[in-house]
Amino acid sequence: MPEAKSARGLVQVTSHYQDGKRQESLVDRKHLAEVDRRPRRRRVTIAWDDAPTLVLIAVNPENTRSMEALPILIKSLQSVRGVVVAVEQNICDRCDINVPVVVPLLAHAVNSQPEKHRLLSTSMDNLSLTDSFKFNPLTKSKAAHEPSREIVRPDDVDLVMTLGGDGLILHVIQNLFPKAVPPFMPFNLGSMGFLTPFNFSDHQKDVSSVLTGQNNSVTMRMRLKCVIVRQTIGPNHTCSPTIHNFEDNALNDETREASVTEEHHVLNELVIDRGPAPYLSNLEVLCDNCPVTRVQADGIIVATPTGSTAYSLSSGGSMVHPSVPAILFTPICPHSLSFRPVLFPDYVTLEIKVPQDSRASAWVSFDGRHRMELMKGDKVVVTVSPWSVPTFSRADTTNDWFKSVSHCLRWNERVVQGQQYSN
Per-residue pLDDT of the chain (423 residues; tens, 9 = 90+): 333 334 456 677 777 666 667 777 777 766 666 666 555 455 788 888 888 889 999 999 889 999 999 999 999 998 888 899 999 888 877 777 778 888 886 533 444 333 332 222 222 233 222 232 233 334 444 443 444 578 888 988 999 999 999 999 999 999 999 889 999 999 999 887 889 999 999 999 999 999 988 878 899 999 999 999 998 755 444 343 333 344 444 444 444 566 777 899 999 999 999 999 998 999 999 999 999 999 999 999 999 999 999 999 999 999 999 999 999 999 999 999 899 999 999 999 999 999 999 999 999 999 999 999 999 999 999 999 999 999 999 888 888 899 888 888 888 888 777 666 555
pLDDT for the residue numbered 248: 46
pLDDT for the residue numbered 117: 29
pLDDT for the residue numbered 193: 83
pLDDT for the residue numbered 35: 65
Domain ranges of the chain: 10-221, 224-384
Is the Cβ–Cβ distance between 381 and 264 less than 8 Å? no
pLDDT for the residue numbered 157: 92
Is the Cβ–Cβ distance between 208 and 183 less than 8 Å? no
Query: DSSP assignment, residue 308?
Result: G
* CB atoms inside a 10 Å sphere around CB 191: 11
φ, ψ of residue 144 in degrees (nearest 5): -70, -35
pLDDT for the residue numbered 36: 61
pLDDT for the residue numbered 416: 75
> Does CATH number 3.40.50 belong to domain 10-221?
yes
pLDDT for the residue numbered 42: 58
φ, ψ of residue 207 in degrees (nearest 5): -65, -45
pLDDT for the residue numbered 173: 94
Instruction: Give the model confidence (pLDDT) of 285-325 as tens digits.
Output: 999 999 999 999 999 999 999 999 999 999 999 999 999 99
pLDDT for the residue numbered 179: 87
CA–CA dist 341, 207 (Å, integer):
40
Same topology between domain 10-221 and domain 224-384: no
pLDDT for the residue numbered 384: 96
* CB atoms inside a 10 Å sphere around CB 150: 16
- For residue 313, give the nearest of 417, 181, 408, 190 by alpha carbon: 408
Superfamily of domain 224-384 in the CATH hierarchy: Probable inorganic polyphosphate/atp-NAD kinase; domain 2 (2.60.200.30)
> Active-site residue numbers?
166
Beta strands per DSSP E along 38-154: 41-48, 54-59, 84-88, 101-102, 120-122, 127-129, 138-140, 150-152
* CB atoms inside a 10 Å sphere around CB 48: 19
* CB atoms inside a 10 Å sphere around CB 388: 26
- Non-local (6+) Cβ contacts of 362 within 8 A are 272, 273, 274, 275, 281, 283, 299, 354, 373, 374
3-class state of residue 400 by DSSP = helix
